[in-house]
Amino acid sequence: MRRRKYDDKKVDNIIPEGFLWGGAVTSFQTEGAWDQGGKGSSIVDARPIPEGFSDWKVAVDFYHRYKEDIALFKELGFNAYRTSISWARIFPDGEGEPNEEGLQFYDDLFDEFLANGIQPVITLYHFDIPLALAEKYNGFASRKVVDLFEKYVRTVFGRYRNKVKYWLTFNEQNLFLTQPQLLGVKVRDENREALSYQAVHHSFIAHAKAVKALHEIIPDGKMAGMITYMTTYPISCKPADVLANVKAKELLIDFYCDVFANGEYPTYVTSDLQKKGIMTVFEEGDAELLKENTVDYLSISYYQSQTVKSVEQSDELIPGITPNPHLEANEWGWSIDSIGLRVALKDMYARYRLPIFITENGIGVQEELDENQTVVDDYRINYLKEHIEQMKLAMEDGVEVFGYLTWGSTDLLSSQGEMKKRYGFIFVNREEQDLRDLKRYKKKSFNWFKNVIASNGEQLEDITESVSR
C-alpha cells in the first residue's frame, strides 16, 4: 500500500482496481412516465405540490431517454450507477400479479447499463410505496405490507438474478423514525412515537426478509443496509453537551447500523422503550430473522454535519441538533464538511468491520446555462474533490471503501420537487413548471469527474475546460 506524506492536502492514491465510480438517483426523481407502462400511483404521485414546485409526472424523462443518458455516463467512465425500482411499476396496487411491462422496462434498462460496462446498483424502496398500500393498510404500520414487500423483492430478485449484484433495501432507513410518512404511515400525535417505532421495526423485518431472499435467490448477491450519515459533534466540551451528542448519534445512526450488522436491537433503544411503556411488538421469529440475516456491506449517503447541545426539555425525539457555526452552508442551509465524511467512515468501520459503499454525495446549487451552453461549476468540483480526498485518507487509515457515487449524474428533481436544486454533471434544460426541451448539456465538472475516474481517483486537480453539448 502506498503511504501518504504527513500532509493531509496531498493524498497518494490507494484506491484499488475495480473501485466503483458513478452516480445515484431514484426512479421517481428521474423516470417520469408516471402513468405509463402499467405503472400504478405511489405516495409520491399523491403528494400535495407546493406553489412554485414541480410534480414528478415527467421528472427528467429518463424513462424515454435512458439510452441517451447512459451513453453520457459511459463517456464519463462510470462503472456503476444506482437507481431504484418503482414498486408501483412492478405491482401497480402493491398486490396481485406483477406487471410484465414494468418488469420488462427494468430488464431493458439493466441490459443497457451492462452493455455499456456499468453495473446497476439497485435500491428496492426509495420512499415510494404504492398508494393503494398506504390507503388500505396504512403502509408499513401493517405487517401485511411486510409480506407484500417480500413478494415484490422475491419477484425482482428472480427476474434480475443475472443482472444485478449490488442491492440496497431501504433508502436512508434512519429517516423513518422521525418521518414515518416516508413509509406510507399516517400517525396521530397521541401515538406518534410508539407507532413510529413499530413502523421502523416492520421496515427492519422487511429488510431482513429481503436479505434472506437475496441470499437464497442470488447466492453471490450483496445486500446493504443504507442510512444517511449526518456526522454530529457536541457544540462544546461541556460533559452535558457531549452526552447529548452521544444520545443523538445513537438514534440518528447507531440504532440502524447495529441492527443491520449485529442483527439485534441495542439495549440503549430497548431500555428506553421499556421505560416509556411503548416496547415494540416482536412477532414470533422476528428476533431470529434479524439475527440470521445481517448485511454484506453498509451504504451511506453523506451531505452534511451538525452539532448537538444539551437541552433540558424538548418535544423532539432527537433534541438539541443545531447548525455548526464554524462551517459554511449551501443555499439550502446544508453545512459543507468534508472532514465529517472521514469521521463517519472511520467510526462505521471501527464499529462494524464491514465494507462501506458511499452511494450518495454531492451539492445542490441553483444554476443556469451560460452563453457557451454550459455551467462553470467550480464549486461542485471543489466540493467533490475535498470529499474524495477525505475518503482516501480514511481508506489509508484502513477503512474498506469500495465505491463512491455522486448524487445526481444528470440534474434531477429534488425529493421535494425542486428542479432549481441541481446536483448533476449534466444540465437538464427544464424548470419547475416549464419543461422546455429537456435537452442535456455537459457542465465543466463533467470532464473533471471523467478525469477522476480515468485516473481511479488519483487526478483530483482541476485540469478541465468548459464544454457544451
Q: What residues act catalytically?
A: 172, 360
| DSSP 8-state secondary structure symbol assigned to residue 371 | T
Report the distance separating Cα 13 and Cα 56, nearest Å.
40
Sign of CA dihedral 447, 451, 454, 460: negative
Report the distance separating Cα 116 and Cα 113, nearest Å.
5
Cβ atoms 125, 146 nearer than 8 A: no
Cβ atoms 300, 226 nearer than 8 A: yes
- The SS3 call for residue 22 is strand
Report the distance separating Cα 388 and Cα 456, nearest Å.
11
Q: Given the C-alpha cell 423485518, which residue does it identify?
A: 205
Q: Report the DSSP pairing between strands 426-428 and 440-442.
A: antiparallel
Cβ atoms 456, 17 nearer than 8 A: yes
Which cell goes with 189?
400525535
CA 260 to chain centre: 16
